[in-house]
Chain A
Amino acid sequence: MNPTDMLYTKEHEWVKIEGTVATMGITEYAQSALGDIVFVEQPEEGTDLAVGDECIQLESAKAAASVYSSVVGVVCAGNEALEDAPELVNTDPYGEGWMVKIEIEVAPEGLMDAAAYEAYLATCE
């Protein structure tokens, strides 16, 4: 169920790398755990990110959460559609619910492919 052209973190984010740009979002598991997303803070373009830096703040109807960068790079775009329609994160987490695009500066490390992520998910239930 998790797309095979993406990489995943243990914190339930996905990263899709196309050329030098990494697009990030949260996985089906994460959106389901958080429930209805009602607010996604837009990241500032040009922000330098290291692995582990907070890059997005999320709020659901019942919890607050943060998305931390899993790559090293510079923010080049946020998903402005989420400003008025944050529910896209729930309805289409791997597509229209993407959150941030990052121009990567260093090859990403330590990410799982879809098969490894699904094996990991089995341990999360």
Chain B
Amino acid sequence: MLRRTKPVRTAAERILMAKRTCLHDIHVELGGRIVDFAGWDLPVQFEGILAEHTHTREHVSLFDTGHMGQLLISGPGVGEQLAAALSQDAVKLPVGRAKYGFLLTEAGTIIDDTILKRLGEDEFFLVVNAATAAIDAKTLRARLSDDIEIVVLASWGKLDVQGPEALDVLQPITEIDLTTMGYFGVCRTQVLGHDCILSRTGYTGELGWEIYMSQATLPEVCRALLESPNVKPAGLGARDSLRLEMGYALYGHELSQDVTPVDAAMEFFFDAERDFVGATALRTQISDGTNGKLVMIDSAQRRRFNTGDTILSDGEEIGIVTSGVFGPSLGRVIGMGFVRPEFTQVGTELTIATARAEITATVGQMPLYKDGTCRKKLS
């Protein structure tokens, strides 16, 4: 008997919960299989996860990330205030640049992971996860003074154009010269004549841009890009295997309010000597050590391990899997998980106990996929 093991939402739950992005009709037209993700109806796949993954590594794919939160934060002296509210040093961030970092609790645990973009001297753009967007806005409101304006861009969509051929398909419809934008560059410009924010960022490891634009005009841009024979739509399935091959953490899997950036082995993303909410707790953790550290898990085989599976060493429980996936570009199953600090050395042998079998794996060197084009110099 063939039984699928994924949980399925009831019809009532779907109607009550489902939110749709402005690109929903396009997904349905293109045969996307729609699933629930953080309360949003989004395509998990079109043609197939493996084909979409490979297409992204070789050509260019479009990912609808309209579920993510977009906050415009502006006002006099906003840089100093954001620098205290977030792990990113907003004061040092040059206009036109983006930086990855965290919104933390006083205890140093992660409310959300975010990308902060500086659009102007007193204007920032913060892109956050869907499930945490509301608490992020509320937390920032409480941390910033009343003369700082926070605008949630609820009527904006987001489209990620990702793959080594992204420049070739996006440049013809973009106002600015994209080759002038370095990795993590950001600007206001026009795509297909429509105002937008553009950042050279992504979640795949490949060259690409993220387009932030009004929901009224983004579908037109999506359709225009799809006219190119080298552009295909891709779903959440490929997004997950692409990000795991690069070792990018996902909120809700690797990151949560139960862990700090030190637990997540992300010390290189912030300066702990600087003062921001949560920094004191992080400094203590850096000097005293942590109970667990996030590692990349590499296996030499195709049998999958899953979120929640136990990690063992010599029969003793030493950790837990946070993500597991077949990596199509690597041809083997990979993932991430938290292990006790003495087991974080690259090459350390691990055993993963799944519901079906015990799998042998090792701690891997991040990123496992090393041929990504995201940092490619364009000029």
Knowing A35-B48, A35-B49, A39-B326 are in contact, say whether A61-B241 is a contact too (CB < 8 A).
yes
Per the bound structure, the CA–CA distance linking A42 and B6 in Å amounts to: 23
Contact of B50 among A13, A36, A39, A64 (CB under 8 A): A36
A28 is an interface residue with CB less than 8 A from chain B: no
Q: Which residues of B contact A65 (CB under 8 A)?
A: 2-5
Q: Closest residue to A51 on the B side, CB-wise?
A: B1
Question: Which residue of B has the minimal Cβ distance to A29?
Answer: B2
Is the pair A9, B45 in contact by a Cβ cutoff of 8 Å?
Answer: no
Give chain B interface residues in 228-250, CB to chain A under 8 Å: 237, 241
- Whether A12 sits at the interface, judged by CB under 8 Å, is yes
Interface string of B270-306 (1 = CB under 8 A from A): 0000000000000000000000000000000011101
Interface residue A41 (Cβ < 8 Å from any Cβ of B): yes
Contact between B1 and A59 (Cβ–Cβ < 8 Å)? no
**A86 interface neighbour in B1, B44, B302, B356, Cβ under 8 Å:** B302
Q: How many A-B residue pairs have CB under 8 A?
A: 73
In the bound complex, residues from chain B placing their C-beta under 8 Å from that of A36 are: 48-51
CB-contacts of A1-44 with B (<8 A)? 9, 11-13, 26, 30, 33-36, 38-39, 41
Complex contact A39–B304 (CB within 8 A)? yes
* Residues in A neighbouring B241, C-beta threshold 8 A: 61
* A39 in contact with B302 given A9-B1, A61-B237 (CB within 8 Å): yes
Instruction: Please indicate the chain A residues that have their CB under 8 angstroms from the CB of B48 in the complex.
Output: 35-36, 61, 90
Residues in A with CB closer than 8 Å to B44 are: 62
Contacts of B325 in A (CB 8 A): 61
A61 touches B50 (CB 8 A): yes
Residues of A within 8 Å of B51, CB to CB, are 36
A52 contacts the other chain (Cβ, under 8 Å)?
yes
Which bucket holds chain A's interface residue count? 20 to 34
Q: A11-B2, A30-B2, A66-B3 are in contact. Are A59 and B49 (CB under 8 A)?
A: no
Q: How many whole Å from A35's CB to the nearest CB in chain B? A: 6
Q: Are B302 and A61 in contact (CB under 8 A)?
A: no
Instruction: Report the separation of the CA atoms of residues A67 and B5 in the bound assembly, to the nearest whole angstrom.
Output: 12
Tally of contact residues, B, Cβ under 8 A: 23
A47 within 8 A of B: no
With a cutoff of 8 Å between Cβ atoms, the chain A residues found around residue B328 in the complex are: 61
Contacts of B49 in A (CB 8 A): 35-36, 61-62
Shortest CB-to-CB span from A66 to chain B, Å, is 6
Interface centre among A12, A38, A66 (most CB of B within 10 A): A38
Residues of B within 8 A of A26 (CB): 2
* C-alpha gap A33/B55 in the complex (Å): 21
In the complex, residue of chain B having the shortest beta-carbon distance to the beta carbon of A40: B302
Query: Are A34's CB and B45's CB within 8 A?
Result: no
Contact with A along B297-328 (1 / 0, CB 8 A): 00000111010000000000000000001101
What is the chain A residue whose CB lies nearest that of B303?
A: A39
A36 to B: closest C-beta gap in Å: 4
Whether the pair A66, B50 counts as a contact (CB closer than 8 A) is: no
- A87-B50 contact in complex given A9-B1, A39-B326, C-beta closer than 8 Å: yes
Q: Given contacts A36-B48, A39-B303, A86-B302, are A62 and B1 in contact (CB under 8 A)?
A: no
- Give the distance in Å from the alpha carbon of A35 to the alpha carbon of B328 in the complex: 14
Contact with B2, one of A41, A67, A87 (Cβ below 8 angstroms): A67
- Interface residues in chain B, defined as those with a beta carbon under 8 Å from any beta carbon in chain A: 1-6, 44-45, 48-51, 237, 241, 302-304, 306, 325-326, 328, 333, 356
8 tightest A-B CB contacts, nearest first: A11-B1, A61-B49, A68-B1, A38-B326, A39-B302, A36-B50, A11-B2, A59-B304
Give 9 CB contacts A-B under 8 Å. Answer: A13-B1, A38-B333, A57-B356, A61-B237, A61-B241, A62-B49, A62-B237, A66-B3, A86-B302
